[in-house]
Chains A and B, each alone.
Chain A
């Protein structure tokens, strides 16, 4: 194998042509994983492979960078909703909500109960549809396409409900500082939501059968990409990934917002910290989300306005909050999603900084977990970490 080294004369020739020839040593080679690979979703990992093992992984993000934080500084407060929600595509309500929460805190608005109820419901629906999307991706990566087919079809039910409530299918542009943009379209919508929740409750058993109980899933994920508790905390891993290593941290419980203090739900925790644990934690959270939606529907939307009453809102483009700053975060399916907004008293925010959960588990953690893994495990690790590249790039 030593003969594989680049011959000297070839190297000399390459020098003359201003080219770079990489010395080949043994079986090592570089593999550019992504951005065209389906598991990576516009995200690239450069793998240094030794045979089938990964020696070193370097994350190369930035394919989706649009400079949101800079763009947000050039647009008025309300308008930014239409911009920032593009940070997290599968659950676009999360960036809307964190930004709105932070602005609410700066202005000092007490969001009406009805708006809070709607926001909670929308967030839970977004979580549910994002879970469905995750099942699709995960199922496809491990070769269980049937689960993906079902999940995509069930997700459409939520898309339809969103469409009726907000007027948009994927980008809802619905939650704004001070409330929401439209009222609930009527009792029919609530009935439909309840039907959907009931329907999906039955379907979760099917998912158990075909995906989570499946011999293939367990064989593919058990013992792959193991983290321990200390590692996860030092790397600021949040969400289901953190719960899979035994830390019961959930923003909805630890820093409650909206209606969550009044809701009763369980936080699933496993200790193993491997891919299987992450999958199972997610599976249990789906159950809990449906349970939360059920409770919300039992509670019923409180009466009252769905938007805060403030004379300043009349001149919407020129709305100016007072000086100040605030940090708000919510629990998304990927983890702890936060926004830090600084206002300098003008009609545009001075600085908006969004913390995407994948920023912590998508770069350093991924690089660490991929070390020593096999090539076939890369999609599994990517999907069980639930890496969302727009979070990193923004």
Chain B
């Protein structure tokens, strides 16, 4: 096996790699006693995440067209399209609901969003207690980036913009208690690409086409499920 020498590989042996063992040298580390520590004293000091750090999502509800590209690219199947009713008015398109119990913060969904409705901010802190009802906070329809920006400016820490989410399983009414005290209520009337029964009769042309498409897609997803 001495033939392994190849012309391009520059091999360095013994003489350069080996060191001398020493008693004295380790003591030289003492010099760092007199230097400024690198520690970030967390409650008193803060380091900010880098710009464009992949944190929580934001969603411009007006721009979102409900195409489910984000749901398709998601490696964790964290995104579910949700039909929403705000103040008695049903949103024309479904919006993605992101589950931080699954999200990997890869932001591929942001990359593929065709209208740029889905975005992300640098916020990265979300701490709750471990009770079932507190963990509801991890599943939300992202709110408007402007609102998040406003909250960030107000509080200056990179926390999750919502403090508490209550979800009534019977009436499907969801309330977001934002950090600045405002409440944001809406009703979730269904999931999936297909408009739910409540939404179908009211809007006329567009959702009907949509439903035809989506039913096709649903079928394909079902076949996928069988394969998997």
By a beta-carbon cutoff of 8 Å, the part of chain A in contact with chain B is: 74-76, 78-83, 146, 150, 153, 156, 160, 163-164, 167-168, 171, 173, 181-182, 185, 206, 208-210, 212-216, 218-219, 229, 233, 247-250, 253-254, 264-271, 280-281, 283-284, 316-318
Contacts and interface: CB of A to CB of B under 8 A. Distances in A.
A270 B72 contact: no
Contact of B11 (A185, A248, A283, A318): A248
B74 interface: yes
Contacts, number: 139
Main secondary structure of the interface of B (DSSP, over half): loop
Contact of B20 (A163, A213, A268, A317): A213
A253 B8 contact: yes
A280 B18 contact: yes
Contact of B26 (A167, A213, A280): A213
A214 B8 contact: no
B21 to A, nearest CB: 4
Contacts of B202: none
Cβ-closest 7 pairs across A and B: A82-B106, A317-B72, A163-B50, A79-B75, A167-B54, A82-B75, A209-B25
Given A265-B10, A317-B112, A163 B49 contact: yes
Contacts of A164: 50-51
A266 B73 contact: no
Contact of B75 (A83, A181, A233): A83
A79 B73 contact: yes
5 contacts: A164-B50, A173-B108, A267-B9, A281-B17, A316-B73
A218 B75 contact: no
Contact of B29 (A181, A206, A212, A281): A206
B22 interface: yes
Contacts of B1: 229, 233, 247
Interface of B: 1, 4-6, 8-14, 16-23, 25-26, 28-29, 32, 38, 49-54, 69, 72-76, 104-108, 111-112, 228
A233 B22 CA distance: 33
A3 B69 CA distance: 72
A249 B6 CA distance: 10
Most buried by B among A76, A206, A213, A215: A213
Given A168-B53, A248-B9, A317-B112, 13 more contacts: A76-B73, A79-B73, A81-B106, A82-B104, A82-B108, A163-B53, A171-B105, A233-B1, A253-B9, A264-B10, A267-B9, A267-B12, A269-B13
A374 B193 CA distance: 62
Contacts of A206: 28-29
Contacts of A75: 75
B19 A210 contact: no
A100 B22 CA distance: 45
Given A210-B28, A229-B1, A269-B13, A160 B50 contact: yes
A301 B213 CA distance: 45
A317 B49 CA distance: 29
Contacts of A229: 1
Contact of A267 (B11, B106, B112): B11
Most buried by A among B17, B18, B105: B17
A284 B12 contact: yes
A267 B108 contact: no
Contacts of A283: 17, 19
Contact of A270 (B17, B20, B69, B112): B17
A170 B73 CA distance: 21
B156 to A, nearest CB: 19
Given A163-B49, A267-B11, A280-B18, A316 B112 contact: yes
B194 to A, nearest CB: 19
Contacts of A270: 13-14, 17-18
A389 to B, nearest CB: 21
Most buried by A among B29, B49, B74, B112: B29
B72 A210 contact: no
Contacts of A266: 10-12, 16
Contacts of A284: 12, 16-17
A248 B74 CA distance: 42
A174 to B, nearest CB: 10
Contacts of B54: 167-168, 173
Contacts of A281: 17
A162 to B, nearest CB: 9
A81 to B, nearest CB: 8
Contacts of A83: 75
B21 A280 contact: no
A284 B19 CA distance: 11
Contact of B19 (A163, A182, A212, A264): A212
